[in-house]
A and B are shown apart, each in its own frame.
Chain A
Amino acid sequence: MTFLIISQILNGLGLGMLYALVGVGLTLILGVLNIPNFAHGVLYALGAYFAYSIASLTGSFYVAILIAPLLVVLVGFVLESKGVRRLYSAHHDYQLLFLFACALIIQEIIIIIWGTVGFSLLPPPNLSGAIDFGIIIYPKYRLALIAFTIFIISMLFLFFTKTNYGAILRAGIENRDMVKVLGININKVFLFTFGLGSYLAGLAGALATPIFGLTPSMGMDILPICFVIVVIAGLGSIPGAVIAGILIGLSQGAATIWYPEATNVVVYLMMGLTIIFRPQGLFGTR
């Protein structure tokens, strides 16, 4: 029984770290550009599908993990510069709707290119199999996933707290007009932020493939969870998104042991509790 509980906790943690990545990405775009990115889910899916194709082409999982998110960033750049930016003078609801329309388009393109049937992707050979810890035997890849995502989030943390550009982004979340007044090119900031958000979504998608496989609906399926993360975290809180993501992952892990049908509902239960008892979110101010 201990074996089951520990491995489910670890599963939940791994899932939670992936949620944290997409959640932080969405929070960044929400906080700096003030837009709920309805294309965030398909960017996650693109990360997975690009990784699949690159891995199939090159035979290397690591190359796929490296390149796929960068391709997603390119897509993000196109979305931001060709659409979102153009709608800046119109009401910002239209930017959201544009991204939603793009999500529909990209979703269909994914099916056109890769078909309607799901795929699976094997982890790289040196991360296959499991490690025996005595009390549990746990898959190598999942351990590596947890370690790697912790590393990425630490890098993000350093970026936000120690670099100038990170400070600008944090300032942008707090007070966008102030950033403009400081003479910083707001267009560049927006483009970069959208790119970073897209990168995190794409990376999460790519990393998720050996565990969850690929299905065309994976983009649209993860989007609601992203929004729940943002609501629980508090709009605009990056640490909140990390914690909320992990909490949701762990809750789903717990649900899998005790009440599997509730795996999806538990997410919304947590959201419901948050909006009743702490509507501004765990860390939110607005």
Chain B
Amino acid sequence: MKNYYTYITLLIFLIAGPFLFSHATISEIIVYSIVAVATNIMLGYTGLLSFGQAMFFGTGAYISGLILKAGLPIFIAIPVSTISTFILASIVGYFCVQRTGLYFICLSFAFNQMLYFIAYVWVDVTGGEDGLVAVPRPEFLTNSLSLYIFITLIFLICLFALRRVISSPLGLVFQLIRENPSRASSIGYNVKFFKMVSFVIASTFTGLAGSLYVMIHSMAPIDQIHWLKSGDIIFMTLFGGVGHFLGPILGVIGYIYLSDTFSIIWARWPLLMGLLFALVVLFFRGGIAELIENLFKKYKIFKKGVDDEKSS
């Protein structure tokens, strides 16, 4: 029952979005929502913390941008960059899962920065520090509203796919790994393999999102592949709520709204974001989604109390 309300709310938000935000902003929110929901497969469901999501987002953006600049259609750009990210994720993921969780984090972080430096020095291809610029939008998407609709449709497809994963036995195995990896192994699941699957799914969808992102501002800036961006992605996911499938979307909205609002007022606004992050980690680890859930619970208890009083 509650599920229907959340999906209806989401649909209302998607329809109202272009009126609440600029088209570019709402498109960014949707793109990052794909990233956050996908990253949550790894973080919330499998219990894997990776500081490397930006490398896939950035790679997806660069490859898609390069293909569009070459004059090829979007229907080649998206699949090619998604498949490329898939291959990259498989290689990186393979190495990252070999040893303990600490090793996983350190290695994903180091790989991310390695990719950043490759992007930095390979100026001919990536534009280096200035990023990839003048990426043309396909003709049918030059209108920013139609771009938003296109991105939203892909977002909904991604949501459907990820939802299928979560509701399947595979999704359950991810949770087994989160809850008790050694037991998951002893009842018969190859934990390394499934960690890798989780990582690859999360990263591939993130790359897909990157391939869409490049069209919003017609560029792929280099900071999208920097490890700090990975931190932002983790923040958005956590802030929204890792315990709920759609929770991270709230974190994306919050993050983008706050950053757009405060970055104009104060150049040092990342300080506020850091404070918010610290607060969430210390006191609100369930994110906004959990806060809302608790509010609903309290309301139900309150309402039950009122109903009980009425009937007595």
Q: CB within 8 Å of B: which residues of A?
A: 30, 34, 36, 83, 86-87, 90-91, 93-94, 96-98, 100-105, 107-109, 111-112, 220, 224, 227-228, 230-231, 235, 261-262, 264-265, 268, 271-272, 275, 279-280, 286
- CA separation between A109 and B272, bound complex, in Å? 11
Given A96-B49, A224-B109, A227-B109, check contact A101 B270 (CB 8 Å): no
What are 10 residue pairs bridging A and B, where the CB atoms are less than 8 Å apart in the complex? Answer: A36-B105, A97-B238, A98-B278, A101-B275, A101-B281, A227-B110, A231-B103, A231-B106, A262-B121, A268-B114
B270 with A104: CB separation less than 8 A = yes
A101 with B278: CB separation less than 8 A = yes
- CA separation between A107 and B117, bound complex, in Å? 21
Interface size class of B (residues with CB under 8 A): 35 or more
Query: Which of A86, A93, A104, A275 lies in contact with B277, CB distance below 8 A?
Result: A104
Q: Which residues of B contact A271 (CB under 8 A)?
A: 110, 114
- The list of the 10 closest CB pairs from A to B, nearest first, reads A104-B274, A108-B271, A101-B277, A105-B274, A268-B114, A224-B113, A101-B278, A93-B49, A98-B281, A264-B117
- CA separation between A36 and B52, bound complex, in Å? 14
Q: Which residues of A contact B99 (CB under 8 A)?
A: 235, 279-280, 286
Given A265-B121, A280-B99, A286-B99, check contact A102 B278 (CB 8 Å): yes
Q: Which residues of B contact A30 (CB under 8 A)?
A: 102
Asked if B69 is an interface residue, CB under 8 A from chain A, the answer is no
- CA separation between A86 and B113, bound complex, in Å? 30
Query: Which of A224, A261, A264, A265 lies in contact with B110, CB distance below 8 A?
Result: A224
Closest A residue by C-beta to B228: A220
B112-136: which have CB < 8 Å to A?
Answer: 113-114, 117-118, 120-121
Residues 22-44 of chain B, each 1 if its beta carbon lies under 8 Å from chain A, else 0: 00000000000000000000000
| Residue with the highest number of chain B CB atoms closer than 10 Å, among A90, A103, A220, A227 | A227
- CA separation between A109 and B274, bound complex, in Å? 11
Given A224-B227, A280-B99, check contact A108 B107 (CB 8 Å): no
- CA separation between A136 and B118, bound complex, in Å? 35
Determine chain B's interface SS by DSSP, over half rule.
helix
Q: Which residues of A contact B192 (CB under 8 A)?
A: none
Asked if B273 is an interface residue, CB under 8 A from chain A, the answer is yes
- CA separation between A227 and B95, bound complex, in Å? 15
Asked if B163 is an interface residue, CB under 8 A from chain A, the answer is no
Q: CB within 8 Å of A: which residues of B?
A: 47, 49, 95, 98-103, 105-107, 109-110, 113-114, 117-118, 120-121, 227-228, 231, 234, 238, 268, 270-271, 273-275, 277-278, 281-282, 285
Given A36-B102, A279-B95, check contact A268 B270 (CB 8 Å): no
Given A94-B285, A100-B231, A104-B271, check contact A275 B278 (CB 8 Å): no
Q: Which residues of A contact B271 (CB under 8 A)?
A: 104-105, 108-109, 112
Given A268-B110, A271-B110, check contact A286 B281 (CB 8 Å): no
Measured CB to CB, the closest approach of chain A to B90, in angstroms, equals 15
Q: Which residues of B contact A86 (CB under 8 A)?
A: 282
Q: Which residues of A contact B228 (CB under 8 A)?
A: 220
Closest B residue by C-beta to A232: B110
- CA separation between A163 and B238, bound complex, in Å? 42
Q: Which residues of B contact A111 (CB under 8 A)?
A: 268
- CA separation between A123 and B22, bound complex, in Å? 53
Q: Which residues of B contact A280 (CB under 8 A)?
A: 99
A105 with B275: CB separation less than 8 A = yes
Q: Which residues of B contact A91 (CB under 8 A)?
A: 47
Measured CB to CB, the closest approach of chain A to B47, in angstroms, equals 8
Q: Which residues of A contact B105 (CB under 8 A)?
A: 36, 96
Q: Which residues of A contact B109 (CB under 8 A)?
A: 36, 224, 227
- CA separation between A86 and B279, bound complex, in Å? 12
Closest B residue by C-beta to A111: B268
Closest B residue by C-beta to A104: B274
Q: Which residues of B contact A109 (CB under 8 A)?
A: 271
Query: Which of B100, B101, B110, B278 lies in contact with A105, CB distance below 8 A?
Result: B278
- CA separation between A272 and B103, bound complex, in Å? 14
Q: Which residues of A contact B117 (CB under 8 A)?
A: 264-265, 268
Closest A residue by C-beta to B107: A231
B121 with A261: CB separation less than 8 A = yes
Measured CB to CB, the closest approach of chain B to A103, in angstroms, equals 8
Closest B residue by C-beta to A100: B231
Query: Which of B106, B234, B268, B273 lies in contact with A230, CB distance below 8 A?
Result: B106
Q: Which residues of A contact B107 (CB under 8 A)?
A: 231, 275
Q: Which residues of B contact A224 (CB under 8 A)?
A: 109-110, 113, 227
Sample of 15 more A-B contacts, CB < 8 Å, known A36-B109, A101-B277, A279-B98 = A36-B102, A86-B282, A93-B101, A94-B285, A97-B234, A97-B281, A98-B278, A102-B274, A104-B271, A104-B273, A108-B270, A231-B110, A235-B103, A268-B114, A268-B117
